[in-house]
């Protein structure tokens, strides 16, 4: 095994909360899991989606209890070739933490 892999630590580098854009929003209803939330109806969440048009853009979500990855992107139109991935975490029935994981432009 290569010397630099002998004591390889998978937790390295250690991410700090300052590394990412993070925000906490208040939800309009109380939820027990992320799967229950209709993000289209949550007005405080709209600013994170931007101006997504259904014909040209996509929204995908992968959920696991109170955590989720949410990806948006566009393939046509004025937002062509850009997108973002957010980590969502339901921390209480009416509060959700939104962390920008990555933002991309092609």
How many structural domains are present in the chain?
1
Of the candidates 64, 62, 66, which has an alpha carbon nearest to the alpha carbon of residue 95?
66
pLDDT at 20: 63
Q: Is residue 2 part of a domain?
A: no
pTM, to two decimals: 0.74
pLDDT at 74: 83
Q: Is residue 4 part of a domain?
A: no
Range of the domain at 45: 26-105
Q: Is residue 67 part of a domain?
A: yes
Q: Is residue 18 part of a domain?
A: no
Q: Is residue 20 part of a domain?
A: no
Query: What does the pLDDT profile of the chain (106 residues) look like in tens digits?
Result: 455 555 655 555 555 555 568 899 999 999 999 999 998 889 888 888 777 777 778 889 999 889 999 998 887 766 577 888 999 999 999 999 999 988 887 7
How far is 19 from 22, CA to CA, in rounded Å?
9
pLDDT at 36: 93
pLDDT at 14: 52
């Amino acid at each position: 095994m290569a010397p630099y892999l002998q004591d390889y630590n998978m937790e390295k580098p250690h991410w700090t909360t300052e590394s990412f854009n993070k925000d906490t929003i208040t939800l309009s209803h109380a939820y027990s899991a992320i799967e229950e939330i209709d993000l289209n109806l949550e007005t405080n969440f709209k600013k994170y989606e931007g101006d997504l048009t259904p014909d040209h853009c996509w929204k995908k979500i992968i959920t696991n209890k109170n955590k989720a990855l949410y990806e948006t992107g566009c393939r046509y139109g004025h937002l062509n070739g850009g997108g973002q991935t957010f980590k969502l975490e339901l921390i209480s029935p009416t509060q959700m933490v939104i962390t920008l994981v990555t933002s991309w432009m092609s």
